[in-house]
Amino acid sequence: RGRGEVLAALGRDGFALLYASEDFKRDREAVLVAVQNNGRALEFASGDLKRDREVVSRAVQNCGRALEFASEDLKRDREVVLEAVRNMSYALQFAAEDLKRDRELVVEAMRNNGDALRFASEGLRRDREMVFAAVRRSGCALRFAHEDLRRDREVVFAAVRNCGMALEVSAEDLKGDREVVFAAVQNDGDALRFARADLKQDREVVLAAVQKASALRFASEDLKRDREVVLVAVRNCGIALAWAHEDFWRDREVVLAAVRTYIPAMEDFQHDREVVLEAVRNDRDALKFASEDLKMDPVLQPGKVAGNCIAGLGALAPLLCLRSVTEDPAGGLEASVVFGLGGERDASMAVPSGGENPPTVGDLASFAVQHFGVEGGLVHVHVQGHGRMGVLDVDRSLRGFL
């Protein structure tokens, strides 16, 4: 290929330098074109060009990791290294050892990612102010701090607030510090795994944890039998049912909550229409696990379920209260509704039907979701004088409420 073609190819994909001839790998113009497209193309440049300050500078500005392929002299060049770590924090690992002791440079590296502390000198990893700066950006950088600072309550507290799993590398006594552990599980429930045993029996700590991830598995056996704790856990993460006491596999309310994200929860409720509907709402293929008599149920077919905007028992969704239904002069239906727990918004709406039949509760829910812009696509429906409408009331006619 001609020179122009090669330069054009390198401008489109700098990594193409790998396949270029040795002449082009020694060609300063060609290498500059390549590294400005992809800094890591510096790896394939000639040794002389890896010592060329401008070439290396352009490379690390594009990709900080290109510092790995620079000459040893340029790895000691403070300005070049500064450009590299500004582009990619981890480029600090390729800097000369004396620059890993450079406080200002290390702070710059940690600006985007506190984990760059990993590549700082031992002296800086023992420096309280430096470690504070790191864990405030990335709590899990605590694992790179000197062990003395992993015993420092204030440092650890800052770390776990940013990354709960930093609790793993904290000193043993801090794993038993209730305030530290509480902060950790509020950030990441799975941090409960590293708490001292007595805090795994602390109901308040565990309740905070199970709202974040599937932390029930790390709770004490007593709390795995606590219905409120289990309900909170499975509402957040259905698979938490797998770690609850076996009695809860037969608790309908718990199963209803769990099956929304964990299909195996329906195992003992294959004949329960509402449980099956919630499972199908989660995964259309769940219908094949229903009992034979429910597999052909029209209300449980995936297409029908997908259009059902009525929230199930215990689901997190806003409330739609139907106050009254009236017939308009044209024979249509007009619904007077209040939306929100505190009656934040009210409206009168002409409810269209989903077909030739009169409008249904399902049509009302679907229309309300669109009208009020409901995130999540579900609303709890309450009819004044008639109570809560369940997911199986989707085809109930609104004319019954005239």
Q: What is the pLDDT of residues 140-195, one digit of tens each?
A: 999 999 999 999 999 999 999 999 999 999 999 999 999 999 999 999 999 999 99
Q: Which of 58, 69, 4, 64 is nearest to 32 (CA)?
A: 58
Instruction: Tell me what percent of the residues of the chain surpass a pLDDT of 70.
Output: 98
How far from 34 is each of 28, 31, 110, 124, 373, CA to CA, in Å?
Answer: 10, 5, 28, 36, 49
Which segments within 85-131 are labelled E, that is strand? none
Mean pLDDT throughout 328-353? 77
pLDDT at res. 298: 95
Q: Are strands 345-350 and 380-383 parallel, antiparallel or unpaired?
A: unpaired
Region 111-126: mean pLDDT is: 96
Residue bearing the bigger pLDDT, 182 or 349: 182
For the stretch 123-141, pLDDT in tens is 999 999 999 999 999 999 9
Q: Is the entire prediction scored with pTM above 0.75?
A: yes
39-78: pLDDT as tens digits: 999 999 999 999 999 999 999 999 999 999 999 999 999 9
Mean pLDDT of 314-335: 87
Q: Is the pLDDT of residue 111 over 90?
A: yes
Q: Return the pLDDT at 21.
A: 92
Q: What is the pLDDT of residues 231-264, one digit of tens each?
A: 999 999 999 999 999 999 999 999 999 999 999 9
* Inter-residue long-range contacts of 40-44, CB under 8 Å, 24+ positions, other chains counted: 40/14, 40/15, 40/65, 40/66, 40/69, 41/10, 41/14, 41/15, 41/16, 41/17, 41/66, 42/66, 42/69, 42/70, 43/68, 43/69, 44/17, 44/18, 44/20
- Mean pLDDT score of the chain, rounded to an integer? 94
Give me the pLDDT at residue 346, please: 78
Give 328's pLDDT tier (boundaries 50, 70, 90): confident
Please say if the pLDDT value at position 358 is more than 90: no
pLDDT of residue 398: 92
pLDDT for 170: 98
Give phi and psi for 174, each to the nearest 5. Answer: -75, -20
Give the percent of the chain with pLDDT over 90: 88
Give the pLDDT of residue 58. 98
Please tell me the predicted confidence (pLDDT) of residue 167. 98
* Mean pLDDT, residues 213-242: 95
Per-residue confidence (pLDDT) for residue 353, from 0 to 100: 60
The stretch 85-91 carries a mean pLDDT of 97
Query: Coil, strand, or helix at residue 339?
Result: strand
Are the C-beta atoms of 302 and 363 separated by less than 8 Å?
no
User: What's the pLDDT band for 198 if we cut at 50, 70, 90?
Assistant: very high
Rounded Cα gap, residues 87 and 75, in angstroms? 15
pLDDT at 351: 76
